[in-house]
Amino acid sequence: MNAAALIERYYAAFNAGDWNGFFELLADDVAHDINQGIRETGKEAFRKFIERMNHSYREQIVDIVVMSNADGSRAASEYTVLGQYLATDTGLPEARGQTYRLPGGAFFDLRGGKVARVTNYYNLEDWLKQVAA
């Protein structure tokens, strides 16, 4: 599978809530760089992150553009997150069902047909402004 197809499957599984399919696309030692946060390593840590996210947020990733290098070892994406803030997340404003539309991007290292690293970026200040409105 080429790099772009792998990343497209990654987002399709995310959007469908197909968590088994999503985690099958990850290397066992996947590194996950959380926006403005720490790096977590391994599928189990990523699963716990997704569980936390699914508790507080409902999100769909749209307007996805995927780019990759010639040898397929790295990829990047630009996208828009359409979300709803469902339950208050630790250290963040109170959730009241607020909706948001947030541009974002991600960088990927790919190895053996799997995602070995994903680094996500979005503008936290923009998100805070949207959920405070």
Average pLDDT over residues 110-128: 96
Torsion over CA of 109, 105, 79 and 111, rounded to 10 degrees? 0
pLDDT > 70 in the chain, percent: 99
Read off the pLDDT band of 36 (50, 70, 90): confident
Residue 93: count other Cβ atoms within 10 Å of its Cβ: 13
Would you say residue 128 has pLDDT above 90? yes
Give yes or no for a contact between 19 and 120, defined as CB atoms under 8 angstroms apart. Answer: no
Query: Which residue's structure tokens are 């290098």?
Result: 69
Task: Please give the pLDDT value at position 37.
Answer: 86
Give yes or no for a contact between 132 and 44, defined as CB atoms under 8 angstroms apart. Answer: no
pLDDT mean across residues, the chain: 96
Give yes or no for a contact between 60 and 15, defined as CB atoms under 8 angstroms apart. Answer: yes
Strands (E), the chain: 26-33, 39-41, 57-68, 74-85, 99-111, 114-122
Would you say residue 102 has pLDDT above 90? yes
- Structural domains for the chain: 3-132 (3.10.450.50)
What pTM, to 2 d.p., does this model score? 0.94
Would you say residue 116 has pLDDT above 90? yes
Would you say residue 114 has pLDDT above 90? yes
Task: Please give the pLDDT value at position 48.
Answer: 96
Task: Please give the pLDDT value at position 133.
Answer: 80
